[in-house]
Amino acid sequence: MPTYAYACKDCSHAFEIVQSFTDSSLTSCPECEGTLRKKFNSVGVVFKGSGFYRTDSRDTKGSSVSPAPAAAPAPAAAAAAAAS
């Protein structure tokens, strides 16, 4: 749920409250019962670049990154297993 910031027009009391998208905006100040205004803050996430979709960074041939090779067992562990 998003956090909304409010400020009172009369007493300048400022506070934040967590509200659902479906909740109505607050209208009266909890301190002086004055008129509230909603404060708008900057956006926390900024997307920059040419695209945001999964397919935007892929070429038509498929992925250019090859998978990592499987790790081989250590020589000491292989020798111990063979001796048993």
Q: For residue 61, what pLDDT band results from cuts at 50, 70 and 90?
A: low
Strands (E), the chain: 3-8, 14-18, 36-39
- The pLDDT, as a whole number, for residue 29 is 92
Q: Which of 73, 3, 4 is nearest to 39 (CA)?
A: 4
The overall average pLDDT reported for the chain is: 76
